[in-house]
Chains A and B, each alone.
Chain A
Amino acid sequence: MGYNWNWGVFLQPTSTGDDTYLGWMFYGFKVTIALSLSAWLIALALGAVVGVLRTVPNKWLSGFATAYVELFRNIPLLVQLFLWYFVMPELLPERMGDAFKQSNPFMQQFLASMVCLALFTSARVAEQVRSGINSLPPGQKNAGLAMGFTLAQTYRYVMLPMAVRLIVPPLTSEFLNIFKNSAVCSTIGLLELAAQGRQLVDYTAQPYESFIAVTLAYLVINIVVMFGMRWVEEHVRVPGYLGGK
């Protein structure tokens, strides 16, 4: 194979001259992290609310939550991204739409990507939250209510603390997914990690180095997330419960 390996490419200045190629990669890495983390925080908050609503004894609220989950889970992520980026600004009230279109392109791409990933992931988080709540012993809710807690307090103090502990492992994989899914956002021009990798190929004609670097960067993210979530799992483990001691 007549490929010319050249790892030194990362230290070369870019053709625009203001940075090295490594700097480009690092920029993409930061965008991926910022995008995924901000979307993840929103997804957790929304997903918790929607997941709880799916289990409440009120058919309007639970019906709304079911519709929400089905909507965001079943439309392909790429389609949702295009809807947020291209269609949504047209549907906003004119002033807001214009303000969005006049903001700098990076902000437009970042905001659309963040909202898209956050809502898509929140539907999946909601499903986990619901299954966590449903897998609690059924008597726990009655026990909370019987103490005089309101339904909201019963969720807050009795059901959610245990439900959340039960779903740490599946949430870990959703957390990993959001980083992987963020690569889709390169399709609307957001210069995140995957997009920077491709850009590097275009400018340097060194595809192997570029994609190996991108792969390693995603791997690092995976490892950090897994260790982080394992730490969380250990930290919230209940003594004497589910084999924890």
Chain B
Amino acid sequence: MISMNKVSKNYGSFQVLADCTTEVHKGEVIVVCGPSGSGKSTLIKCVNGLEPFQSGEIVVNGVSVGDPKTNLSKLRSTVGMVFQNFELFPHMSIIDNLAIAQIKVLGRSQDQAREKGSKLLERVGLAVQAEKYPGQLSGGQQQRVAIARALAMDPICMLFDEPTSALDPEMVNEVLDVMTELAQEGMTMMCVTHEMGFAKRVASRVIFMDQGRIVEDDSKDAFFEHPRSERAQQFLAKILHH
């Protein structure tokens, strides 16, 4: 579904991504982790073309992201993305947040879009908040709305960039629960996260990045039981200690 081949990106002389190669198959859940600044966000933003890259190739569902002829907007409408800071549209009610792109991008009618939106809100347990505004919701609620908003586009896969790291600890689980459910339903997902409990529960594979390189790309059992690189061992020791 997503394949990356030797993707490299640099800002001037600084290499953010170096020869990143990996493959995400339909229904897989890939957890991407690594120290701060290792290029995780950049990597997943390359998948839907939010970040350009200088060399290599990324193909999503048969479409080459780096090809200048590719209609990126169309591609992005099929790839859901959830951000660290939720990024709901603050001037729209929750239900409008879910409906707007369905209407303007997919051409659905107002009624269809709202109905779909309501169903998804119900699914993330927020049906009663439909008419509120993002600023009136807690962080955890906003992130669940953001997930519902992405799902409203019927995406073929979902990208998550540290979806729980801006949340108060007591709200982390409500978001992880939604993500776990999604994973168990067979959604193809690529998640940047340091929630190792989530990774152990649902990941098919874990990618570990360091200094722009994919250092490990292994099944979760192999990764957690015998990480090969020293950097990954140190990283796990630090993070699992918490």
Residues of A within 8 A of B (CB): 137, 139-140, 142-150, 153, 157-158, 161-162, 165, 238-241, 244
Residues of B73-95 at the interface with A, using a CB-CB cut-off of 8 Å, are 73-74, 76-81, 83-85, 87-91
Q: Is B66 part of the contact surface with A, judged by Cβ < 8 Å?
A: no
What are the residues of chain A within 8 A of B136 when measuring CB–CB?
A: 239-240
What are the residues of chain A within 8 A of B105 when measuring CB–CB?
A: 147-149, 153
Q: Is B228 part of the contact surface with A, judged by Cβ < 8 Å?
A: no
Q: Is B200 part of the contact surface with A, judged by Cβ < 8 Å?
A: no
Q: How far is the CA of A239 from the CA of B137 in the complex (A)?
A: 11
Min CB distance B4 to A, Å, is: 18
A240 and B135 contact, CB distance less than 8 A: yes
Q: Is B101 part of the contact surface with A, judged by Cβ < 8 Å?
A: yes
Partner of B91 from the list A137, A146, A149, A161 (CB cut-off 8 Å) is: A161
Q: How far is the CA of A140 from the CA of B88 in the complex (A)?
A: 8
Query: Known: A157-B100, A162-B91. Is A145-B133 also a contact (CB below 8 A)?
Result: no
Q: How far is the CA of A142 from the CA of B84 in the complex (A)?
A: 12
Residues of B within 8 A of A (CB): 45, 48, 50, 73-74, 76-81, 83-85, 87-91, 100-101, 104-106, 132-137, 149-150, 153
B135 and A148 contact, CB distance less than 8 A: no
A148 and B73 contact, CB distance less than 8 A: yes
Min CB distance B42 to A, Å, is: 12
* B76 closest partner in A (C-beta): A148
What are the residues of chain B within 8 A of A140 when measuring CB–CB?
A: 87, 89
Q: How far is the CA of A133 from the CA of B128 in the complex (A)?
A: 32
What are the residues of chain B within 8 A of A139 when measuring CB–CB?
A: 83-85, 87
Name the residue in A140, A146, A157 with the highest tally of chain B Cβ atoms < 10 Å from its Cβ: A146
A241 and B87 contact, CB distance less than 8 A: no
* B77 closest partner in A (C-beta): A148
Q: How far is the CA of A146 from the CA of B87 in the complex (A)?
A: 11
A147 and B133 contact, CB distance less than 8 A: no
Min CB distance A160 to B, Å, is: 10
Min CB distance A190 to B, Å, is: 40
A147 and B153 contact, CB distance less than 8 A: yes
Query: Known: A142-B50, A240-B136. Is A149-B73 also a contact (CB below 8 A)?
Result: yes
What are the residues of chain B within 8 A of A240 when measuring CB–CB?
A: 90, 132-137
Jot down 22 A-B pairs with beta carbons below 8 A, ordered by A. A139-B87, A142-B50, A143-B87, A143-B88, A143-B89, A145-B73, A145-B76, A146-B76, A146-B79, A146-B81, A147-B101, A148-B76, A148-B78, A149-B73, A161-B89, A161-B91, A162-B89, A162-B90, A165-B91, A238-B91, A238-B133, A240-B135
